[in-house]
Each structure stands twice: as structure tokens, then as C-alpha cells.
Amino acid sequence: MSAKGRPAVGLDLGSSATRVAMCVVEGDYIRYAGHGEAPAHMAWTRGRLTDQAALASSIRAAIEEAEARSSIPAEAAVIGIGCGAKGVNIRGVYEVGRKRQIDMDDLRCAVALATRVQLEADRLVLQVCPQDFTLDGRAGFRNPQSISCSRLEANVHVVTASAQEHQGLVAAVHQAHLSVEESIFEGIAAAYATVVTEERARGVAVVDIGAESTHLAIYSGEALIQAMTIGIGGEHFTRDLASELKINYGDAERLKHEYGSANPERIGLNTLIDLPAPGGRAPRETRRHDLVAILEARAEQLLGLVFDEIQKQRMESNLFEGIVLTGGGALLADLCDVADRVTGLQVRKGFARGIEDWPAELDTPVWAVTAGLAMYSGRLKTKKEFKRGAPALAKLVVH
């Protein structure tokens, strides 16, 4: 399709597939223009980029498909970073001096002081997400411009990632003849697409279950209070089936999609399924209930780790919007039931909201991150006053 407006492109570099959503910004709206998807498993090994050229080829294939659908050339994109990302809460103190009204430059200075943290080896600052400000000991200001104080404190959540892995992803995008506008944590991208400001304000945890890892973003009072990666993803469910049922990985993946569920209570005890056997031997039989019990055990482990983190943040009674599940792993049948039982919170699947003409075929948790990346690209273009040199305060508005 042909479209007028500024292009906004989101590029999700998943370990199983590369997905791109191409949109256009038209005034106050962002509108779908095209999408593309290409296999990417040859570029990754257990969640690590091991073949940069293969990833570049996958990116190029996905981009070309999106360009063919949209009739718009892609030149730059916002990309997602997932595996290994983690966040920490930090405070920056800016001594203003004599009491006076503070302005945007003062806020930037306080945030910048908070980001001067000693990083571990091979870590870089991926995102700086301001939470609130404290003025002369008075806490809880979201945007305290024009208020007088002599001491300004910025409370921020700093998300870091592996510098080496980040460099490899950016290089692959460049090799695919595309520039990188911004790189953001995939959990934040999923949240940006699936929950609105009011829901973040009331408290919500977004759980993006990818192939090799799960990305968690917890919000309260509109602010990001925790971002982290959990080293369990959809492929771990498949490997469990392959190991326990003594079948190969491809057959395990097929059985997971055909018969999988996270709740054995919904499966009859007498339902049998055939297990493929190698070498032309006769198939074996097993109870579907047993297959589902294997998936349930892994689901309980993953969701237990999510709830542990929610409890560490003392948010178990304050997530009034509950938990939102996104990513390919969220497609497992009855996963919301298990999440409800393990956490005691309301749980729903997350779907992209806010993009005009978003096609029904993409109305699935699988495309939530890609949609969020495209929406983020669009928001960067509409907030002209926030330059790339001062990303922190731009994210104060975006998040």
C-alpha cells in the first residue's frame, strides 16, 4: 500500500524469526503500512547470536516483504534487545544551590547524574527510565518544572545489556542496509504496545515469553520499577518434551503445538496420542495428560520466577491490572490459568493497541513486541524537542 507520512519501523530480532512492522505517522495517529517475517534460527544458538551474516540475510528478507506490502522503503528502525538485559533502580542528586525554580535542563542534569553508575564488564546502558523526582526531601513529583527547590533528586531505572551482543545486533542491521534509530528492551516494547498509561499507573507486569528467554517489565504509577530477563523461554518447553518423551526436537515442537496445554486438569486421563519413532519403527503411544503435565511443570517454574520478582518489588498487592502475557510462549493453551493459580493475580494475553488498520492476522501476542517497537519509532518522531543526545527525558514521556 502507498502511504503518506513519516515511516515508523519496528524490527524484532527474535531467535526463531525476524519480524518487522512498517507504519506511518499521520498527525496524531500511527497507521499500519506493511509487515514481513523471515526465519532466523540459523543465526542463533541457544539465544546467542552466532552468525551475523545469517541474521542480516533474515532481516533483509523480512524488510523486503514489508516494503513490498507497503510500497515504502525502509531506511531506519527501532530494534529490540532481549536476552541478558537487566535493570536497577538508581538515584541521582543535583545540588541546585540557592532555592530557585527548576527547569528541564535541571531535570536532565539530575537524570544524567543518576546514570553515572559503575557498570560491570561488557555492559552498556540501554535505557534510562525516569520514575519520579524528589525536591528538598518531598518525594513523588513526576514533572516538577517551575517548582522551587535547592536540592533535586532523580529516581531512575537503568536498563543495561551486553555491549558485545548489542554491537553484534546493530552490525547485522547495518549489514542489512538499515540504520538503527534506537534500541530498547523488548519487555518495554511489549508493554508499550499492550498497556496504556492508565493501566501502567494502576500497576501491571508485562511478561514477554520469547523462544529462549522471558522479558519482564513491572510498572507502578506509570513508572518502570523493574526490568529483567529470565532465562526460560518457549524452546525450553519443547526441550522438556523431547527429553522426557524420548523424541527429537522437531517432533516435540509439533506435538506441543498440536496437543499442548499448561493445565492437565482440562485433559482427560484416557486420551492417547502417537509418539513418532525413528528408523521406521512403529509409533509409541502416551497419554496426552502426561505430555501436558510436562509443560505444566515448566510453566509453573517460569511463572514462579516471575512472581518471585513481583514479591521482591513488594508489588503482589499493588498490580491492579495484573499480568499481561505476550510473545510466542503466551500462545500455549491454558497458560493464563496456571499464571492465575501461581500468582493469584488476574492474567490476560496482550495484543497490540493503538495502531490504525492493524491487520487481524497480526492480532496475536506474537507480534506485540514488533508493534511496540514500531510505535516507539513513531513516538520518537512526534517528540521533536527530545533529541537523541538526551534520551532519558524522552523516555519519561514515552513510558
- Please report whether residue 397 resides in a domain: no
Domain boundary residue among 105, 136, 160?
160
Return the pLDDT at 102.
92
Pair 205, 150 in one domain: no
Whether residue 31 is predicted with pLDDT greater than 70 in this model: the reply is: yes
Mean predicted lDDT score pLDDT of the chain: 91
| Final residue belonging to a domain, choices 350, 366, 382 | 350
The domain that contains 331 carries what CATH number? 3.30.420.40
**How many structural domains are present in the chain?**
2
As a whole number, mean pLDDT of residues 277-298 equals 89
Q: Is 251 exposed, middle or buried (0-12, 13-18, 19+ CB in 10 A)?
A: middle
Rg, C-alpha atoms of the chain: 22
- Is 385 a residue whose pLDDT tops 50? no
Please state the rounded mean pLDDT for residues 87-106: 92
Give 4's pLDDT tier (boundaries 50, 70, 90): low
- Find the mean pLDDT for residues 169-184: 97
* Domain boundaries, position 331: 197-350
How far is residue 376 CA from its own chain's centroid? 12
Domain end residue (candidates: 139, 160, 181): 160
The DSSP H or E segment spanning 41 is none
CA-closest candidate to residue 102, choices 60, 150, 134: 150
> What are φ and ψ of residue 379, in 5° steps?
-65, -35
Nine-digit cell at 311? 514479591
Lookup result for grid cell 516435540:
252
What is the average pLDDT across 6-31?
Answer: 94
Residue 107's CATH number: 3.30.1490.110
Looking at the fold, whether 341 and 214 belong to one and the same domain comes out as yes
pLDDT value at 317 more than 60: yes
| Domain co-membership, 120 together with 226 | no
What's the pLDDT at 46?
A: 85
- More confident of the two residues 2 and 215: 215
Render pLDDT for 136-176 as a digit per residue (tens, 0 to 9). Answer: 999 989 889 999 999 999 999 999 999 999 999 999 999 99
Q: Report, as an integer, the average pLDDT of 390-394.
A: 34
Determine, yes or no, domain membership for 127. yes
Are residues 343 and 201 part of one domain? yes
Q: Name the phi and psi angles at 138, rounded to 5.
A: -95, 115
pLDDT in tens, 210-245: 999 999 999 998 899 999 999 999 999 999 999 999
pLDDT at 110 over 50: yes
The answer to whether residues 342 and 205 belong to one domain is yes
* For residue 361, pLDDT beyond 80: yes
pLDDT of residue 147: 95
Phi then psi for residue 396, to 5 deg, are -60, -35
Tell me whether residue 267 is in a domain. yes
Q: What percent of the chain has pLDDT over 70?
A: 94
Q: Which residue has the higher pLDDT, 154 or 278?
A: 154
Q: By C-alpha distance, which of 213, 211, 209 is closest to 253?
A: 211
Residue 253 lies in a domain: yes
Q: Find all residues with CB under 8 Å of 318, minimum gap 6, and list them.
A: 203, 220
Instruction: Name the pLDDT band for 29 (thresholds 50, 70, 90).
Output: confident
Give per-residue pLDDT as tens, 75-96. Answer: 999 999 988 899 999 999 999 9
Say whether both 129 and 207 belong to one domain.
no
